[in-house]
Amino acid sequence: MKNKRILYIVSIPLLLLTVFSTSPKATVDDHGDSFATATTITPCEPERGDLEVASDWDMFGFYGEQGTTYTISIELGSLEDSVMYLYDADGATVASDDDGGPHYASEIVWLCETTAAYYIEVGSYQDDFAGGYTLSLTSAGCGASEESKSGCFIAAASMNDVRLPVIINKIIEQVK
C-alpha cells in the first residue's frame, strides 16, 4: 500500500512534465541560426523574417560581387529593436550595426571587395525582443530596369542555391 502511494507521488509530476514539455508550444524557426541552415536571400527581393522568441537569430546567405556596394537594411515590423552582423564565409565579422536605420532598425552600407559568399545575421538588441521584420539586400542595380534586376537574380542563382527553381521561374516570368 505504501509502495503504491510512492508510485503516485513519483508518477503524477512525471506525467505533468511530459504533458507540458510535449505540448505544441515550441514554435518553428523561419530562418536557421547557422551558415549551414541559412536562407539564401535574393538581392533586390525583400525577405520577411520573424524572431519567434527574443533569443532567436536568423541567418541569411548571399553571393557578394566585388566592386558592388550593398545596402543591407532592416525594416522593423512588430520587432522593436534589431541588431545585424555581416560575416564572410570563414565566420569573420565584416560589419555590424545596431541602430543605423530609422528608429531602432539596423542598416549596413558595405563595399564588397572580394566576390564570395557572405552571411547576414539578424537578432534583437541584447536578445530582448521578439517580432517580425523585413530584410532587404540592395545595390545600385535594384529598382532600375528589369534587365539589371535579372542580373541580381542570376548573381544569387550562381550560389549553391536550394531555391534555384524558384529563382529560375522568376526570371522566366520577367522574360515573358
Q: For Ca ion, which is the closer residue by CB, 83 or 152? A: 83
Q: Which x/- pattern over 25-44 shows residues binding Ca ion (rule: CB under 5 A)? A: ----xxx-x-----------
Query: Does 47 sit near Ca ion (CB under 5 A)?
Result: no
Query: Does 99 sit near Ca ion (CB under 5 A)?
Result: no
Judged by CB under 5 A, the stretch of 16-24, 57-65, 84-92, 124-132 that binds Ca ion is 57-65
Quick one: angle between helices 146-157 and 164-175, nearest 10?
Answer: 160
Judged by CB under 5 A, the stretch of 7-15, 19-27, 55-63, 71-79 that binds Ca ion is 55-63
Write out the three cell numbers for 8.
503516485
Among 38, 40, 56, 119, binds Ca ion (CB under 5 A): 56
* Bridge partners, residue 39, by sequence: 60
Counts for the chain of helices (H) and strands (E), in that order: 3, 9
Decide if 167 contacts 153 (C-beta within 8 A).
Answer: yes
Distance CA 29, CA 14 (A): 28
Distance CA 137, CA 66 (A): 15
Query: Does 80 sit near Ca ion (CB under 5 A)?
Result: no
User: Which positions touch Ca ion (CB under 5 A)?
Assistant: 29-31, 33, 56, 58
